[in-house]
Chains A and B, each alone.
Chain A
Amino acid sequence: MEELGLLMQGFAVVMEPQNLLLMLVGIALGVLIGVLPGLGGANGIAILLPLTFAMPPVSAIIMLSCIYWGALFGGAITSILFNIPGEPWSVATTFDGYPMAQQGKAAEALTAAFTSSFVGAFIAIVMITFIAPVIAGFALRFGPPEFFAVMFLSFASFIGMSKGPALKTLSAMMLGFLLAAVGMDTVTGQLRMTFGSTEMIRGFDFLVAVIGLFGISEILCSIEDGLRFKGERAKIDARVVLKVWASLPKHWWLALRSSLIGCWMGITPAGATPASFMSYGVARRMSKHGASFGKGRIEGVIAPETAAHAAGTSALLPMLTLGVPGSPTAAVLLGGLIMWGLQPGPMLFVEQKDFVWGLIASMYLGNVVGLIVVLVAVPWFAAILRVPFSIIAAIILVVCAIGAFTVSNAEFDITLMLIFGVVGYVLKKLDYPLAPLVLALVLGDRTEEAFRQSLLISQGSLRVFFSNWLVSSIMAMGFALLLWPVVSWVVERINAHRSGTGAVVPREA
């Protein structure tokens, strides 16, 4: 029970007045970011990151991670009231949340969404509290080949688990790796792929890419559908909250199952978005009232919200213990760690106890505070979307430009941000996933470094990646995931062949 003692120390750090204040600011900003289209957890944090350089790292991570929790909560508000998912992971919440709001049950839907978000996050945090130190302790024995294997595994799982076309996932990922390699090679000092341009020597900063890919492109995508938001109104009073809370315990199994799906999908870098869809799908299939899903069932709100929040939270587990983030937002936080001068990876748990446990303690407290803030302040946050889109869009563009500039005080970065925005718009519409691109951009240098160090150890032989049972088994899992799309394609072909003219074989009983 050493963890509990450390956790208590963490709480002592969080309880300092300055950190408590930053937590509140972070939550409020996060909900705002979650509500606004074009600003999400990943790019919201990317924009604010440069402003935290002067803070102590633990205060900075508390504020930024609270923005993340706030954004997770905020996504539900727009999904339910406006049928606009403020965040990709709340798309599944619109299926039943918006019909509920149309039937005048917006307050119930919102309360259920917030509460189940909280439950999902709480289960994930408890898991992190007890599992993270074990994994970190285990990972202390890792050398370069093992680290390369872990990164290989997480990139392979993108290809194996993503719903989109595997080739497009692969292309997006490789583009991320290439962009990461541009500029000075840190090992030899050689300039790579700068093609004679002095601006390229600095390389591509992933924060600029994130602001463009997730911010600007989102504005371009939402403008396509016109300029108006139409929404339902909602005010939550204590009676509704208590009534919904009284009805929630009977859904405990749904919540637990959704949390487990979320935790699993969050640790493997599949992320919150597929977790919410998967959890919604499983809930509909397992329910006796499956047919009435999509018409305003409360279970249809609980399942995706629990899973999304559990996944979003547990994405921090691999980020903290291995230095491999489980979601784009976790990747941005990881970039923050490096900028504050901390070395991500298992040594954090040994050398930076205050930082790690302060962060974990702030997750507990931040989610409680977040739940209270959103329950109380829903009408105000919803009012923001009644401001005309022409104003919001312009302000978001200005904020993104300022954010891109402040990353390294370079005007060229604003141009880059715009280019990334257009690229993101096209890729999004063509179903290229952006998360692997961003993760590859963040982890590219460290993946390459691990690869080269491993080869140095072995004098250039690739057998180093199968030199002991640990690294071999991680690599084998990676290859299994990598080959998964091929296997399932072949199986489908065989099935289609057997059933004659390639008719679709019903897979669900």
Chain B
Amino acid sequence: MSAGRGLRMSMVEAGTALAFALAGTAAIGDSLRIGTGWGADGPQSGTFPFWIGVILVAASAGTLLQAVRARAESGLFASWGQLRLVASVLVPTALYVAAIPFTGIYLASAALVAWFMHRLGGFGWARSMAAGLGVAVTCFLVFEVWFLVQLPKGPLESLLGY
């Protein structure tokens, strides 16, 4: 079933189930802190999340058990090549999100579009930058001017008087 090498399905399956169980445990812990019983004004704040957490831990324990039992015949979650492609989108996007507080959304968006076109689409730098600029200006006109929605802006926009 597994063509080529890559991340195994059972590993990701088990990791995800563990993460779910961890979230459930955190919920149980926090609920116990604030009380899961009957308070002066009805059920305490922790009651509902406590039971949700218990069900989540139980369900993910079951999923984990199934994943462990089926680990021999599990295929690939994704091949290394596929994961590289995913990373080629995910890493620039993460940088984009991280840059927004500093550069504002317009400059970062122009850079993202230009980078995608140049690196993934194989376009020349001139055309990529022009397209990036075009997208940023269009967004600016649509949101700031037409819909009057304020988006995050950076030093460049304040230099231009916005």
Contacts and interface: CB of A to CB of B under 8 A. Distances in A.
Interface of A: 50-51, 165, 167-168, 170-171, 174-175, 177-178, 181, 185, 187-188, 190, 192-193, 195, 216, 219-220, 223-224, 226-227, 388-391, 393-395, 397-398, 401-402, 405-406, 409, 411, 414-415, 417-418, 422, 425-427, 429-430, 432, 448, 451-452, 455-456, 460
Contacts of A192: 30-31, 34, 45-46, 49
B55 A170 contact: yes
Given A167-B62, A193-B30, A452-B42, A391 B52 contact: no
A190 B42 contact: no
A188 B36 CA distance: 13
A223 B53 CA distance: 34
Nearest to B138: A395
A195 B30 contact: yes
Contact of B97 (A181, A391, A401, A460): A401
A167 B24 CA distance: 14
11 contacts: A167-B62, A174-B24, A174-B55, A177-B49, A178-B27, A181-B49, A193-B27, A224-B86, A391-B117, A394-B115, A452-B47
Interface string B101-116: 1000100010011011
Interface string B1-24: 000000001001100110010011
B116 A394 contact: yes
A318 B120 CA distance: 44
B45 A426 contact: no
Nearest to A397: B93
Nearest to A422: B90
A136 B38 CA distance: 34
Given A51-B147, A220-B90, A391 B116 contact: yes
Contacts of B24: 174, 178
B23 A168 contact: no
B41 interface: yes
Given A51-B149, A224-B85, A430-B13, A391 B121 contact: yes
A441 B57 CA distance: 18
Contacts of A223: 85-86, 88-89
Interface in B115-160: 115-117, 119-123, 131, 135, 139, 143, 147, 149-152
Contacts of B96: 397, 401
Contacts of A427: 16
Nearest to B89: A223
Interface residues of B, number: 68
A409 B66 contact: no
B38 A193 contact: no
Can you list the 7 inter-chain pairs with the closest CB atoms, starting with the nearest? A390-B121, A394-B116, A174-B56, A190-B45, A390-B120, A170-B59, A394-B113
B121 A415 contact: no
A430 B52 contact: no
B117 A178 contact: no
B89 A219 contact: yes
Contacts of B117: 388, 390-391, 394
Given A188-B45, A418-B93, A178 B23 contact: yes
Contacts of B121: 227, 388-391
Interface of B: 9, 12-13, 16-17, 20, 23-24, 26-27, 30-31, 34, 38-39, 41-49, 52-53, 55-56, 59-60, 62-63, 66, 77-78, 82, 85-86, 88-90, 93-94, 96-97, 100-101, 105, 109, 112-113, 115-117, 119-123, 131, 135, 139, 143, 147, 149-152
Nearest to B61: A167
A486 to B, nearest CB: 12
A167 B66 contact: yes
A478 to B, nearest CB: 15
Contacts of A398: 105, 109, 112-113, 135, 139
A437 B68 CA distance: 24
Given A170-B59, A178-B53, A398-B113, A415 B38 contact: no
B56 A175 contact: yes
- Which of B97, B100, B123, B150 has most chain A Cβ within 10 Å? B97
Contacts of B45: 185, 187-188, 190, 192
Contact of A415 (B16, B97, B113, B151): B97
Contacts of A409: 150
Nearest to B85: A223
Contacts of B94: 418
Given A181-B48, A216-B93, 14 more contacts: A171-B56, A174-B56, A175-B20, A177-B48, A181-B27, A223-B86, A391-B116, A391-B121, A401-B109, A402-B151, A405-B105, A451-B48, A455-B43, A456-B43
B86 A393 contact: no
B50 to A, nearest CB: 10
Given A178-B53, A193-B27, A394-B116, A452 B43 contact: yes
A226 B78 contact: no
Contact of B113 (A167, A219, A389, A395): A395
A187 B123 CA distance: 56
B93 A402 contact: no
Nearest to A425: B86
Contacts of A389: 120-121
Given A394-B117, A406-B151, A193 B97 contact: no
Contacts of A187: 41-42, 45
